[in-house]
Structure 1
Amino acid sequence: MYSVTVRDHLMVAHSFRGAVFGPAQRLHGATFVVDATFRRRELDADNIVLDIGLATRELGGLVAELNYRNLDEEPDFAGVNTTTEFLARVVADRLVERIDARARGLDSVAVTLHESHVAWASYEREL
Structure 2
Amino acid sequence: MFSLTVRDHFMIAHSFNGETFGPAQRCHGATYVVDVTFKRPDLDRDDLIVDIGLASQVLGEILAEFHLSNLDELEEFRGRNTTTEFMARVIFERLAKAVQRGRLGDTAKGLTAMCVTLHESHVAWASYEGAL
Give me the TM-score of the superposition, normalised by structure 1: 0.97
Does residue 109 (structure 1) correspond to residue 114 (structure 2)? The answer is: yes
Does residue 125 (structure 1) correspond to residue 110 (structure 2)? The answer is: no
Question: Any idea what the Cα deviations from partners look like across 1:77-121, whole Å, max 9, x if unmatched?
Answer: 011000000000000110111232333111101000000000000
Aligned to 2:66: 66
Kindly report the root-mean-square deviation, in angstroms, between the aligned alpha carbons of the 2 structures. Answer: 0.8
Structure 1, unmatched stretches of 5+, are none
The residue type paired with residue 116 of structure 2 is: V
Aligned to 1:23: 23
Q: What is the CA–CA distance in structure 1 between the aligned matches of 2:41 and 2:98, rounded to whole Å?
A: 21
Does residue 47 (structure 1) correspond to residue 52 (structure 2)? The answer is: no
Matched-pair contact (CA < 8 Å) for 1:58–1:99: no
Tell me the CA shift for residue 36 of structure 1: 0.6
The residue type paired with residue 71 of structure 2 is: L
Q: What is the CA–CA distance in structure 1 between the aligned matches of 2:13 and 2:99, rounded to whole Å?
A: 27
Question: Any idea what the Cα deviations from partners look like across 1:2-48, whole Å, max 9, x if unmatched?
Answer: 01100000100000001100000000001000001100010111110
Give me the TM-score of the superposition, normalised by structure 2: 0.93
Percent of residue pairs bearing the same amino acid type: 60
